Amino acid sequence: MEQVRVGRRVGRALGRMLRPFQPPEHLPQLLPNPDRDGAIVDCALYVRGARQPGRPAFTEAVEAARRRRNGFVWLGLFEPTWAQFAGVADLLGIDELTVEQTLAADRRPGLEQRGDVTVLTVRTARYVEHAELTATSEVVDTGAVTLLIGRHFVVSVRHGAAGALADVRGQLQERPTLLVHGPWAVGYAVIERMVELYHDVSTRVERDVEKLEETAFLRVGGCDVQQIYQLKRELVEFKRAVLPLQPPLRRTTETSVDLPPALKQYFQDVHGRLHQVVERVGSYNELLDSILQARLAQVGLDQNNDMRKIAAWAAIAAMQTAIAGIYGMNFGNIPGLHWQWGFAVVLLVMLTGALVLHRLFRRSGWL
């Protein structure tokens, strides 16, 4: 009997192991929850340009937005992991390649159409305060924001400390006439905010460039070549955030992008402001090149001056060495060698020759 009981227990255990997996009823709740998932900054449902009360779970908000004609969800994420973002991707039907690109922190600005989802990537930037510019100073810090824009949703994924979107959300909610245009209104608001940050960064970088220009030709306390080169490196990082955004902004007005007609003029305006930043960055780069070349020329001139001073003093010392070398020879018939005033006369000749050479070198600018 005991063997029969053991056999039944083993059979029931094997049956449970071989039974097809049945997902629990609460599985949809395992998707990102604003109250539990630290990667979620905010989740809101908007209907007819107004945010609905409360902070719903993402799954509930998506379902409600799909039932509303003029509703959409804005989900804000900050540096989510693959596991945290997988639930969002499954719910919205986003493919694995798009997920991988969205989670990449070093993505280049771009605009791509992936089925019913538009992927818009923008680089963020902020100016890093510093007491003085050194060879290792960090001047510009950059990150990335990727927007997944669909018919009833927009998901923003931000990487890096720069470009927080809390102010963007608050300002956009105060503009219901703009928010009523749906998810692309969020796309415009984010790009507008990034361009404003670009303007702020470019203005502050301009001050650093002006300080370098003021000290480039100072003989005492002037800037080092390493400082100029470091600022150029930081400016290159800033250019990588600003310049590649121009083609995606131009593409937003094309027919291939499902952009509400009322928003096209907004995107054209922000594209014009971005072009101003691009021109300013280009002028800074040219000015830094000029400062660098001028500073290198100044360093070369200073080295030539030093070499002339060394050569002048070497010439003065060579005359003394020649006289001392001649009278140091072991010969008995050298003129004045046995004269009573010979030593004094030789010293006087050496001192007079040194003073004459020093005066000549001073007149010629060598000393």
User: What is the pTM assigned to this prediction?
Assistant: 0.74
pLDDT higher at 246 or 7: 246
| pLDDT tens digits for range 217-241 | 776 666 778 888 888 899 999 999 9
What average pLDDT does range 243-272 have in this prediction?
Answer: 85
**pLDDT class of 328 with cuts at 50, 70, 90:** confident
Alpha-helical segments (H) within 53-182: 58-67, 82-92, 96-102, 166-173, 176-179
Nearest to 74 by CA among 172, 196, 195: 172
How buried is 122 (Cβ within 10 angstroms: 0-12 exposed, 13-18 middle, 19+ buried)? buried
| pLDDT tens digits for range 157-212 | 999 888 889 899 999 999 999 999 999 999 999 999 999 999 999 999 999 888 88
| pLDDT tens digits for range 171-182 | 999 999 999 999
